[in-house]
Amino acid sequence: MVLTPDFETRPVISFQHVFKKYPTGTEALRDINLEVPEGDFLFLVGPSGAGKSTLVRLLIREEKPTKGKIFVDGVELGRMKRRKLPYYRRKVGLVFQDFKLLPNLTIYENVAFALRVLGEADHNVRSRVAEALDTVSLSGKENTYPANLSGGEQQRVAIARALVHAPRFIIADEPTGNLDPATAWEIMQLFLRINARGATVVMATHNREIVDLLRRRVIAIDAGQIARDDRSGRYHDDVAKSQVRA
């Protein structure tokens, strides 16, 4: 089942004339305007250093925009108080290229971590972790440590952790960057399933095959600007239907 994102209702993520300049002087993003409706599946593509990672870091509020406004779920990230930040992050599930698993915790503990932080009761933690591990087909590996898993399995653990608290947004930065094509494809299936359940997914990626196969919304970023925003696009704009949405 594929959920059709509703472009007519109010967007859950919205960038309004966003600029980001780092203290070093690098201008990472220039005048970014972007609207993401609830339930959207969005690829951010573009060459290294184009500004994809900066955009992701703005979205999880690791960075603040230099100019412009970013709204997520009605809250302006740039003006959010520091002590509110943890509560925002709980609405978001994050997946990274390097998995970011804790090596000295078991698979179960790694996934449970996201719930412990919320102060969930033990019996809730147990059932929800079991469910999340089942979703990523890792039931039975609860007591294994990350070092004993393959890259694909580790990324699946990270995805289980990202979705165990049922976030409304999944933000992924190069989630398949360290994986072979077959494994990358498995991981993508997981993201599609999460999206089908209603979560909005924003994914920065270099993986051309996947983007071209899935034909989802593609936003190409080049030199800090949005070069293309295609509702069902490809990695490269080789079909000559370039159309920049403001």
Partner 1 sequence: MMLRNLKFALNSAWQSFWRNLAVSLAAVLSITLILILAGINLLVGHAFSQVLQTFRDRVSEISINVSDDTPLQNVYEFQQQLAADPRVSSVQFITKEQALAQFKADPQNVVFAQQIEGNPLDAKLDVHVKNLSDVAAIDTLARRWPGVDPTDPTNYQGDFVNRMLELSSWLSLAGVALLVVLMVVSVVIVMNTIRTAVYHRRKEIEIMKLVGATEWFVRGPFVLEGVMTGLIAAAIALALLVVAYPPAVDQFKSDVGFIPLTYDPAFISNLAQDLLLAGALLGALGSYIGVRRYVRI
Task: Please report, as ranges, the residues that interact with partner 1 according to CB under 8 A.
Answer: 60, 82-83, 85-90, 92, 94, 100, 102, 104, 113-114, 116-121, 161, 165
Rounded to whole angstroms, what are the CA distances from 241 to 202, 223, 228, 236? 23, 20, 10, 11
Residue 170, amino acid: I
For 126, the token pair is 């147990």
Least distance from partner 1 to the Cβ atom of residue 123, Å: 12
Least distance from partner 1 to the Cβ atom of residue 96, Å: 9
Q: Which is nearer to partner 1, 164 or 187 (CB)?
A: 164
Q: Which is nearer to partner 1, 79 or 100 (CB)?
A: 100
Q: Would you call 8 helix, strand, or coil by DSSP?
A: coil
Least distance from partner 1 to the Cβ atom of residue 169, Å: 12
Reading across the β-sheet that carries 75-76, which strands appear in turn?
Answer: 27-36, 13-21, 67-72, 75-76
For 217-242, b/e burial (b = at least 16 CB within 10 A) is bbbbbeebebebbbeebbbebeeeee
Q: Which is nearer to partner 1, 13 or 171 (CB)?
A: 171
Is 242 within 8 Å of 229 (Cβ atoms)?
A: no
83: Cβ contacts below 8 Å, ≥ 6 apart: none
171: part of which helix (H) or strand (E)? strand 169-173
Least distance from partner 1 to the Cβ atom of residue 135, Å: 17
Least distance from partner 1 to the Cβ atom of residue 55, Å: 17
Q: Which is nearer to partner 1, 45 or 97 (CB)?
A: 97
Q: Which is nearer to partner 1, 98 or 209 (CB)?
A: 98
Q: Which is nearer to partner 1, 162 or 221 (CB)?
A: 162
Least distance from partner 1 to the Cβ atom of residue 104, Å: 6
Q: Which is nearer to partner 1, 200 or 229 (CB)?
A: 200
Is 88 within 8 Å of 169 (Cβ atoms)?
A: no
Least distance from partner 1 to the Cβ atom of residue 143, Å: 16
211: part of which helix (H) or strand (E)? helix 208-214
* Residue among 153, 158, 148 at smallest CA distance from 138: 153
